[in-house]
Amino acid sequence: MKQWNDVRRILCIRLDYMGDVLMSTPAIRALKQSHPGSSITLLTSASGAAAARHVPEIDAVIEYAAPWMKSSSVHSAADDMEMIARLAGDAYDAAVIFTVYSQNPLPAAMMCYLAGIPLRLAHCRENPYQMLSHWVRDPEPEETVRHEVRRQLDLVASIGATTADERMSFAIPPQDMEAARNLLGAIGAGQASGEGRPWIVMHPGATAQSRRYPASHWRAAARALAERLDCPLIFTGSREEAALIDSIREGLPQTFSLAGKLSLGELGGVISLAPLLISNNTGPAHLAAALGTPVVDLYALTNPQHTPWQVASRVLYHDVPCRNCYKSICPQGHHHCLTKVEPQQVVAAALELLHVIPRQAVSIAPMQLLHAV
């Protein structure tokens, strides 16, 4: 597209969480590589901003609690007008709005229109008229469902931005990697290069209640892994998840909690060194994919398109008629898509990825999950 050939100041908008930002990084790389010398600013949430600061392709980050997003709280309309004025003052040449197919891009498009950004690209289900200069009709979910990474790569490809490297991006500062090595060494899991016995990182938390594997199941899986492998189990999470982690670890040998003790960069360091991550479908699962660490993903069927991208993985869930509900709290109240995943399935998947046992039929592959929609 000729109009995009000379853009140099690009605003990318992804107002979601850490994992969503990570899944947008291949498309951001495509923009960066296809526009040499360009500067890319990401407008995102506070959670997304934490991840964005570890993405080399992003030059600047603006935090914004957009009032049309679920994660935002009530604020004055003056704050939104101030943001529009700021974007106008930054004089961007173009804006690219990244959304999942259940989101409407038009509020962000209106903001960019009012800020005078001349080129505005997004998927949109309805005709946006003047709100978007470049509109890609959204075929999801009626006609197809793509992985979230592919969706965003396809969006930027529509204006000629492509990349040969479709991996997700996350850079770990040297000081964070050193801190991670020191922490692991102190608890006896320092042989992170494959030497010595295996060890496993377990992440039992998630922002949405509907995406949390039951604590009792986590405990049963942890106990079985500890007995089978006689290895350290390292639990990660936020400070608020420390009590949950302690309840899972109680009485189990060789378990360690790093809840609330790691910066995002240090968490990345720990996961990058780990032979395996076991996680709910939440930010650290995507962080593991970005860093190339194998992951057992306990995948609640709230949505189909966020499975681990380009990494060795096992995606575990129990199929249910109410799949793809997009709810933060299970509307049926039974959580069967996760509660019916037996702890022994988690153990078997972990042992497969650690090459302790041959591969078994313990999961459905990510693309099968997409095609089953």
- Using one digit for the tens of pLDDT, what is the confidence trace for 259-268? 999 999 999 9
| Spatial distance between the Cα atoms of 54 and 58, rounded to a whole number of angstroms | 8
pLDDT of res. 67: 93
CA gap 300, 366 in Å, rounded: 13
What does the pLDDT read at residue 321? Answer: 84
Are 200 and 98 contained in the same domain?
no
Q: Same domain, yes or no, for 209 and 333?
A: yes
Mean pLDDT score, 28-54: 96
Pairing of strands 134-137, 119-124: parallel
Q: What is the pLDDT of residue 335?
A: 82
Residues 218 and 107 in one domain: no
- Shared-domain flag, residues 123 and 198: no
Indicate whether 27 pLDDT > 80: yes
Residue 162 lies in a domain: no
My answer on whether 65 and 104 are in the same domain is yes
Global pTM value: 0.92
Confidence grade of residue 210 (pLDDT, cut at 50, 70, 90): confident
- Are 212 and 204 in contact, with CB atoms under 8 Å apart? yes
Confidence of residue 192 (pLDDT cuts 50, 70, 90): very low
CA distance 97 to 123: 8
Cβ atoms of residues 195 and 282 within 8 Å:
no
Is 101 in the same domain as 206?
no
Residue 191 has what pLDDT?
53
Do 236 and 205 have their domain in common?
yes
User: For the segment 75-96, what is each residue's pLDDT rounded down to a tens digit?
Assistant: 899 999 999 999 999 999 999 9
pLDDT confidence of residue 364: 44
pLDDT digits (tens, 9 = 90+) for 147-163: 999 999 999 999 999 99
Instruction: List the one residue out of 116, 117, 113 whose CA is nearest residue 130.
Output: 113
The answer to whether 255 touches 249, Cβ cutoff 8 Å, is yes
- Per-residue pLDDT, 267: 97
Q: Do 320 and 327 form a contact (C-beta atoms < 8 A)?
A: no
Q: Please, which pLDDT band fits residue 369 given cuts at 50, 70 and 90? A: low
- Look up residue 185 and give its amino acid: G
Q: Which among 170, 13, 9, 20 has a CA at the least distance from the CA of 94?
A: 9
Mean pLDDT check: name the lowest of 60-69, 117-126, 170-179, 329-338.
Answer: 329-338
Same domain, yes or no, for 92 and 215? no
User: What is the band of 371 on the pLDDT scale with cuts at 50, 70, 90?
Assistant: very low
134-142 contacts at long range (C-beta below 8 A, 24 or more positions apart): 134/1, 134/158, 134/159, 138/101, 140/101, 141/101, 141/324, 141/373
Asked whether residue 165 is domain-assigned, the answer is no
In a domain, 22, yes or no: yes
Indicate whether 164 belongs to any domain: no
pLDDT at 359: 60
Q: Which of 90, 271, 100, 98 is nearest to 192 (CA)?
A: 271
Q: Are 168 and 22 in contact (CB under 8 A)?
A: yes
Q: Would you call the peptide bond into 105 cis, given omega within 30 degrees of 0 as the criterion?
A: no
**Residue 246 belongs to domain spanning:** 174-371
The sheet carrying 9-14 orders its strands as 60-63, 39-44, 9-14, 94-97, 119-124, 134-137
Cβ–Cβ contacts within 10 Å for residue 312, how many?
14
Tell whether 259 is covered by a domain.
yes
Going from the C-alpha of 325 to that of each of 189, 210, 258, 335, the distances in angstroms are 39, 10, 32, 11
> Are 90 and 181 within one domain?
no
**Is residue 186 within 8 Å of 229, Cβ to Cβ?**
no
Residue 201, H or E segment: strand 200-203
Angstrom distances, CA of residue 87 to CA of 42, 96, 113: 11, 13, 10
Closest CA to 216 of 123, 333, 130, 341: 341
Residue 61 predicted with pLDDT over 70: yes
pLDDT confidence of residue 196: 56
Distance CA 69, CA 104 (A): 10
Report the C-alpha gap between 56 and 112 in whole angstroms.
24
Q: What is the count of structural domains for the chain?
A: 2
Residue 222 forms part of a structural domain: yes
Q: For position 231, which CATH number holds?
A: 3.40.50.2000
